Amino acid sequence: MDQSSAWGLDLGATLVGPSRTRFRVWVPHAKSVAVRLRNAQGEPLGGEPVYLAARPHGYFEAEISGVTAGMRYTYLLDGAKERPDPASRWQPDGVHGPSAVVNPKDFAWTDGQWRGLPLERLIFYEMHTGTFTQAGTFEAIISHLAYLREEVGITAIELMPVGQFPGARNWGYDGVYLYAPQSTYGGPQGLKTLVDACHAGGLAVILDVVYNHLGPEGNYLGDFGPYFTDHYRTPWGPAINYDGPDSDEVRHFVIANALYWLTEYHLDGLRLDAIHGIYDFSAKHLLAELAEAVHRIARQEGRVLHVIAESNLNDPRVIEPAAVGGFGLDAQWNDDFHHALHTALTGERDGYYQDFSGVEHLAAAWREGFVYAGQRSLFRRRRHGRSSRHCEGSQFVVFAQNHDQVGNRALGERLSALVSLEALKVATASVLLSPCLPLLFMGEEYGETTPFLYFTNHGDPGLAEAVRRGRREEFAAFGAFVAHAEVPDPQDPATFERSRIHPGVPADPRRAAMLRWHQGLIALRKAVPALGSGRSGRHGCRVWAYEAESVIVVHRWVKGERDALILLGFNREPAVLTLNEPAGQWRLGLDGVAEEFGGTGEGAAPPCLIIGPEGVSVRVGACVACVYLRTNGTAA
């Protein structure tokens, strides 16, 4: 990996010599700012605090001799408030403790030849560091990388947020130190060790970052400057100040954070959480500026870097190029695909699921990306979205499960607790055979049944009780969830422990069969170009929705390669389909009812199909999930 980029972090504590450190912090309304130094154990050193010099635009800065890596420090604002560094690289004692000086160059990277993976090759595996292993650390993940790569077939791990949050248990979206990897996960060294090991095994690493809000506990940014604004409100509290007075420095703080993760930690991309909570009416939106900065670093360093958004706006501007007025992000999550798939599988219609029904909506997600592209949404009680049919499939990330869609249920149930094994296989095939970028949620590959619950470890009793109450109130729009007598207490350590998974090749026959199904689908996706994601315009996809039979038929092709024909059944009973196209001879490549995948073999799909001018009648079993490959030629 080429580290010749001139970019370097200009905030926080930066070593400029063996025993000399520059401190730089933005405090625009302070009269004085000083650094109070401590030793590596956090004990205060004798002497007076060292005052920083005022610099333009509200910055304070000074170089201090005798400060080495590992020493700790706080800022003293106007001689009164003592606070950790907003740009702290490490918070070894938690969100309220002093910051620690880190030497970014003290890690011996071995990934010098790694350049990243192109977008279309990404098969994501989303994981929560704390619950993926028993140890709950970055380095504990390393022993499972061979399993993920070889037994499952994923190509990228996606870490839920790791910025320092209060306590030891949290999803990560309550983080308050954007630059400091969570100390209980292993801090800076642990994260670098994990990333280096991933690259050694050919795996990319994507990090979930949160730029729409900060958590409440340990959030001292407001003491330093106008990082927040009352002009807008988010579901999580005051919005970050991206377009008001003094917002240039706030924007710099966030964009520098994005570049920091990609350069100092060699990450391959960022997933931006809930960008619909980023309010910016500047002529150049923060997201466009961020994407531009990331892609500039990628060019300078000869790397492939990705910026992926989570958004509920259904606005293709997020992924449209800057040349046509878009923000220029590389991809975005497509919740419509999930919602359509979930309702087809479960029949649930509460909350936002009320906008989806049958299989036609899922077919629309296959064809066009967004299902809601300007039509009226019952849930929102207004028109929603804009057409994305001009966007590439590889600009969308799709999933049957993720941390939100599982963890934001009252009892954190996975699909494995809601539908049959056969239906689970249909869900998996829908995701892994789509023209989009597939994402699996940790444990999904073998049908994990443990819940993924919402958990916190706040030290403030009032805040802890507010979180408990908020969780109960959150499900008001989901009648089926409210029926449960008790929502698990997020503060209870048992809630966290119940969410741990046990990754690896399972001994249980049912789970082993589910793992083999994932292996087969991913192997087929990699081997057959027609089943991958592409950005070249060579890919084609036609979808037929048999609403009465609850079956979707998909024809996928790439010019010059074998076509694929996919049957996905959400039918509870066997059905008979008449296929009039695509014409040709087709041989069965994969069938979910096969015994190796935990099926009985009953209702197996025909081993061959010949679709001629008169069409062909096909009897399919309940919850069919199968793939045919053309045997007579290739796509034109």
Give the residue from 317, 312, 353, 354 showing the smallest Cα distance to 333.
312
Exactly one of 85, 151, 208, 273 is catalytic; name it.
273
Answer yes or no: 448 catalytic.
no
How many H-runs (helices) and E-runs (strands) does the chain carry?
15, 31
Exactly one of 310, 320, 444, 448 is catalytic; name it.
310
Answer yes or no: 310 catalytic.
yes
Residue with tokens 């073999």: 601
Contact 314, 372 (CB under 8 A): yes
Beta bridge partners of 584: 611
Instruction: Provide the CB-side half-sphere exposure for 173 (13 A, CA).
Output: 15
Q: Name 519's Cβ contacts closer than 8 Å, sequence gap at least 6.
A: 151, 152, 153
Contact 467, 490 (CB under 8 A): yes
> Token pair of 593, please?
């009812």
With 0-12 CB in 10 A as exposed, 13-18 as middle and 19+ as buried, what is 160? buried
Residue 220 to residue 86: CA distance in whole angstroms:
8
Q: Name 165's Cβ contacts closer than 8 Å, sequence gap at least 6.
A: 95, 172, 174, 175, 176, 182, 215, 218
Residue 408 to residue 401: CA distance in whole angstroms:
11
Instruction: Please confirm whether the linkage preceding 118 is cis (ω < 30° from 0).
Output: no
Expressed in angstroms, the distance from the first to the final Cα of the chain is: 40
Q: Name 484's Cβ contacts closer than 8 Å, sequence gap at least 6.
A: 410, 411
With 0-12 CB in 10 A as exposed, 13-18 as middle and 19+ as buried, what is 613? exposed
Residue 230 to residue 511: CA distance in whole angstroms:
50
Active site positions, annotated:
273, 310
